[in-house]
Structure formats: C-alpha cells, structure tokens
Amino acid sequence: MSEEANPFESLQEQIRDAAAYVDADEGELRRLSRPERLLETNLTIERDDGSLDTFKAYRSQFNGDRGPYKGGIRYHPGVDRDEVKALSGWMVYKTAVVDIPYGGGKGGIAVDPRTLSMAELERLTRSFAEELRPIVGEDMDIPAPDVNTGQREMNWIKDTYETLENTTAPGVITGKAIDSGGSEGRVEATGRSVMLTAREAFDYLGKSIEDATVAVQGYGNAGSVAARLLESELGTNVVAVSDSSGAVYNEAGIDAAGARGFKDETDAVSGYENAEEELTNEDLLTLDVDLLIPAALENAIDDDLAGDVQADVVVEAANGPLTPDADDVLTERGVHVFPDILANAGGVTVSYFEWVQNRQRFYWAEEKVNEELERHIVDAFDGLVAAYEERDLPNFRTAAYVVGLERVLKAYREGGTWP
C-alpha cells in the first residue's frame, strides 16, 4: 500500500489539474485553493456518569462566491483540519457543477458516535450548534447531514439555533425530519443521484445497465439507497455490498434492500443470510463487475489497488474515494470514473430544494422533488460530457472541475475584488 493521501492535497491537485484548461491567473487559483475561514473549537460535555469529556470540532467555510456556504457535518474519529478543509472545497465545486446558488463548507466532530449515549450525543450536538451559531444562518452558512449524522442531529441543531436566536429559521440547516421542516426525498437524494449518474453514464458509453453487475463499498445512507434504486429502478444485479464489518457476495444477486434491513438490525452486513461468500473490502473493490460504487470514506482506492480494479465504470458515492494517483492509473487503464462532485450531488441538490421550501414556507410533493433532482443531475451530466468532448479533457473528473472552476471564477470576477 502506498502512503495515505492527504485529502486537502488531493483537492489542491484536482484544482491544479483542471486549471491547466481554464483561463485563471495564479492569484485567483491561490484564493480558490484554500478556505476563506476555519473554525476550530473544543467541545466539552458532561458524560452520563458525571465526568467531563472534550472533543475537537471544526467548520470550514471554503468559498462563498456563488452563495451561502453549504455542506454537511460529519461525526467520525478521523475528522481533522485537513479532512474538513478538503470536504468543504469539494462542496464548492459540487454546488457549482449542479449549478445551485451556494458556495461550499463542511464541518465535523472527531468522535465515534457509537461510544456515546443518545443523551450525550444530544449534548455534544447542541454544544456544537452553540459554537456554530454566530457563523451559520439561512443566508450565511447552511449545514446538513454527512457521515454518521442524520435527521435527528439536524433537528437538534435547528432547535438550538432557533432557541438562541429567538426566531424560527428552518432554512439554517437541511436534512431535517419532515415535521421539523425537512423535504420529501432528501434521505434518498444522494443514492438517487448515484443511480441517475450510473444510468446516464451507461447510456453515454453505449452499455446496457439492465442486468449489469454492481459492487457497492460502504452501506450507509448513500451506498444502500443507491444499491436499492439501481436494483428496483434500473434492474441491475447488485452482487456485492460491504461496510466496515466486511463484504458479502452472491453471484445471483444480494437483495440490496434485504442487506440494508439486516444491517439495521445487526449493525453489519457481514453474516447476511443471502450471501454466498464473505469477502474483504479490498476483494470487493477488485471484483470483475460492470459498475463499482465506492460509497464509504476518502482514499478507499489508492494507486496500488487501482491497478487491480476490474470494473468498467466507477461511480463515486463517497466524497474523495480515489486518490489522485489512483485516478491517473484508472484513466490510463481506460476505466471511466464519474466523480463524486457530480454523482453524489443529489444530497446537496435536494438540500437546496429543502431550503427553498423553508424560505417560501410552501412544501413540495415527493414527485416534484425527484423530477427537479433528475433535471439537475441530467443537465449537469450533459454539461460535463460536453466539456469532456469539446475540450478534449483527460477524464470526467477534470471535466467536472473545469465546469465548476469556471462558474466560481465567473461569479468572483463579476463581483470584483474589494477593497
């Protein structure tokens, strides 16, 4: 295995690669390669036994040229400055690729939430919300769920903010439960855009998606919903899925929804009765399938592993699952990679719809949400393919960054520099 890539350096490399095809000067690129603002704080909470514990937390506001900072909050022991900075930068280019009026931000707490009781988790979340209060707002910075956070945490953050501000402002955060101002279709949105990207990608490449074999690494919200929709809406054959407990494989199909139900009960996909074979995550990533979906964390595939990937198409559900070196290897080997900032952008796109609904206090049916989401993802896909072909770009990731970078630069130049 090669040394673990630093995600912030990966982001900077991705921006540099795209910049070679974009009319931008050094000063502009320097400005767009680092966060505008980074909050680093220590949150102290009382544990249930009365002792005190302190956790590091961050919020990075990377760029706001196109609108309020936007991006999730992650609870994971691996959260650190460079990860949060990278994730917030990826959000800038993601919101630009799907052309929604936001910048990019990201936050996180370095914690394994499984080691906390629900009451402790609530105290930790509310403590973070209190720290965030001065820098977030419906028109400033709008957090959302990410790894290990969901509706419950978003509802607590909204409630803390509204209580402290003595107002109602549901649009201060997205990914809320429906009764707290959430949107229909938000929970499924990330997985849905992964499914739509796979559909468009296979169509573009002239391959049939029906009965295509699929392997999904990571079985959280993004991976499990993508797998279920790929089966139910496109008729693919999901043969392998995994989580941190390991991978399960069945040549005849694993039953994506059944595997998720099993994981909900036992906290692991390993041991799922429908499996024919148990594999490691590494085995899953190198299976000879038509479509590979990395849906876990950054750096799942490095250059060593990329040499062994046998899939024809990779659609990224996770943020940053390939190192830049892995990207180079796959490009050279002719494996088509459809990048995170397009494929998983359904989450933030439906977050945008949620925020619009919150601001208007008028709520949409799920059908309308899914229709608008499809339009945004298909338009973004077409825009990226047009850039790839017309400008003879090396791969779809560079195409996505070229499209995103040009939109951000345009907004910045129109606004001008002040003072």
Count residues near ligand GLU (CB under 6 A).
13
Helix 81-97 with 396-415: angle, nearest 10 deg: 80
Decide whether 224 or 319 has the Cβ nearer to ligand GLU: 319
Decide whether 290 or 298 has the Cβ nearer to ligand GLU: 298
Are 229 and 218 in contact by the 8 Å Cβ rule? The answer is no
Rg of the chain, C-alpha, whole Å? 20
The least distance separating ligand GLU from the CB of residue 333, rounded to whole angstroms, comes to 27
Decide: is 64 part of the binding site for ligand GLU (CB under 6 A).
no
The least distance separating ligand GLU from the CB of residue 146, rounded to whole angstroms, comes to 4
Decide whether 104 or 270 has the Cβ nearer to ligand GLU: 104
Q: Of the candidates 94, 37, 15, which has an alpha carbon nearest to the alpha carbon of residue 340?
A: 94
Q: Specify the residue for token string 């290990």.
A: 148
Strand pairing of 141-145 and 237-243?
A: unpaired
Question: Interacting stretch for ligand GLU, rule CB under 6 A, among 42-50, 66-74, 234-242, 257-265?
Answer: 66-74
**CA 142/CA 73 separation, integer angstroms:** 10
| Of the candidate residues 146, 200, 243, 312, the single one contacting ligand GLU (CB under 6 A) | 146
**CA 13/CA 388 separation, integer angstroms:** 18
Question: Interacting stretch for ligand GLU, rule CB under 6 A, among 113-121, 229-237, 291-299, 345-353?
Answer: 345-353
Q: Of the candidates 156, 150, 159, which has an alpha carbon nearest to the alpha carbon of residue 120?
A: 156
**CA 262/CA 192 separation, integer angstroms:** 21
Q: What x/- string results for residues 160 through 199 when contact with ligand GLU is judged by CB under 6 A? A: --------------xx------------------------
Question: Interacting stretch for ligand GLU, rule CB under 6 A, among 46-54, 125-133, 256-264, 342-350?
Answer: 342-350
How many Cβ atoms sit within 10 Å of the Cβ of residue 378? 14
The least distance separating ligand GLU from the CB of residue 287, rounded to whole angstroms, comes to 26
| Of the candidate residues 63, 88, 125, 351, the single one contacting ligand GLU (CB under 6 A) | 351
Decide: is 57 part of the binding site for ligand GLU (CB under 6 A).
no
SS3 for 317?
coil
Widest Cα–Cα separation across the chain: 65
The residue sitting closest to ligand GLU, measured at its beta carbon, is 72
Q: Which residues are catalytically annotated?
A: 106
Decide whether 180 or 331 has the Cβ nearer to ligand GLU: 180
Q: Under rule CB under 6 A, which residues in 81-100 are in contact with ligand GLU?
A: 94
The least distance separating ligand GLU from the CB of residue 271, rounded to whole angstroms, comes to 29
Q: Of the candidates 401, 351, 399, which has an alpha carbon nearest to the alpha carbon of residue 376?
A: 351
Peptide bond into 324 cis (omega under 30): no
Decide whether 70 or 126 has the Cβ nearer to ligand GLU: 70
The least distance separating ligand GLU from the CB of residue 106, rounded to whole angstroms, comes to 7
Decide: is 71 part of the binding site for ligand GLU (CB under 6 A).
yes
Decide whether 247 or 348 has the Cβ nearer to ligand GLU: 348
Q: How far is CA 166 from CA 154, 268, 357, in A?
A: 18, 42, 21
The least distance separating ligand GLU from the CB of residue 235, rounded to whole angstroms, comes to 27
| Of the candidate residues 63, 160, 319, 395, the single one contacting ligand GLU (CB under 6 A) | 319
The least distance separating ligand GLU from the CB of residue 67, rounded to whole angstroms, comes to 12
Decide: is 348 part of the binding site for ligand GLU (CB under 6 A).
yes
* Strand positions, DSSP E, 114-191: 141-145
- 207-217 burial: b if 16+ Cβ within 10 Å, else e: eebeebbbbbb
Helix, strand, coil percent content, the chain, rounded in steps of 5: 50, 15, 35
Decide whether 17 or 340 has the Cβ nearer to ligand GLU: 340
Q: Which residues bind ligand GLU (CB under 6 A)?
A: 70-72, 94, 144, 146, 174-175, 319, 344, 347-348, 351
